[in-house]
Structure 1
Amino acid sequence: MSGCCMCTVVKRLLFGLGVGPTIVELDHLASGAPDIQAVLFHLLQESSSSSSSEGGGVPAVFVGGKYLGGIETLMACHINGSLVPLLKDAGALWL
């Protein structure tokens, strides 16, 4: 969502690392946003590492086409040092 502060944090982190992410902002889609949000919410519920505090499944981070998780998972990967290797393995980061 374009007005979501947590979505902004995710975008800034990825841009700051030199990644050019594909960004889909649900509030800017003409149609399909409710369906996409329902799928994201379902992924969030299936993910054992996510908590229910992440509202509606956004932000949802996919790396290399695989669902990584929300902001808590992304930040944990960044803090523990596994995010950069993950991005490199996916071809999203070259340095």
Structure 2
Amino acid sequence: MDRVRDLASTRAAVIFTKSSCCMCHSIKTLFYELGASPAIHELDRDTNGREMEGALRGLGFKILFQGIGVDPLVYEIDQDPEGREMERALMRMGCTAPVPAVFIGGKLIGSTNEIMSLHLSGTLIQMLKPYQALS
């Protein structure tokens, strides 16, 4: 969504959040404690918040994986007629939250926490190495 990209480029640090989310509050506090003055966009208070949230969900891992040299296939299950059943299947497979659910080489890796932990430890790059685009 163009609006997300436009808002994201207004400052060095931009945070899209929800006013009622405790994790969002923690992130905002961390930035303030580090002396940053991020632009804050409360999606639950924006008339286009739901659309922006959907656009952001699609961007996060896609940007991370592309930065590593892998072009991920992204399924937007909320736009699929069988999306509800797909969510239930993901939960049965062990996803603590149905989305985002990340698979690498056909194996369920997990959601946001697992992917970010793997990335911070350097393991994610090693896992994706066989799938990196050939230069």
Structure 2 residue 61 is matched with structure 1 residue 36: no
Unmatched tracts of structure 1, length 5 or more: 46-51
Cα root mean square deviation, aligned: 2.1
CA distance in 1, matches of 2:108, 2:55: 19
Q: Among all aligned residue pairs of Structure 1 and Structure 2, give the percentage whose two residues are the same amino acid.
A: 32
Structure 2: distance between partners of 1:20 and 1:9? 13
- Alignment-derived partner of residue 62 in structure 2: 11
Is 1:21 the counterpart of 2:72 in the alignment? yes
- 1:28 counterpart letter in structure 2: Q
Runs of at least 5 residues in structure 2 that lack an aligned partner in the other structure: 1-52
Alignment match, 2:117: 76
Bigger relative CO (Cα 8 Å, ≥ 6 apart): 1
Q: TM-score w.r.t. structure 2 length?
A: 0.53
Q: Residue 28 of structure 2 aligns with which residue?
A: none
Determine if contact 2:58/2:74 at 8 Å carries over to the other structure.
Answer: no
Contact (CA 8 Å) 1:77, 1:83: kept in 2 or not? yes
Which residue type is aligned with residue 43 of structure 1? M
Please name the residue that 1:93 is paired with. 132
Letter in 2 for 1:11: K
4+ residue segments displaced more than 6 Å = none
In 1, Cα distance between the equivalents of 2:82 and 2:90? Answer: 12
Q: Residue in 2 aligned with 1:48?
A: none
Q: Distance between the aligned counterparts of 1:4 and 1:59, measured in 2?
A: 13
Q: Which amino acid aligns with 2:113?
A: E
Distance 1:21 1:12 in 2: 9
Q: What is the CA distance between 1:11 and its match in structure 2? A: 1.5
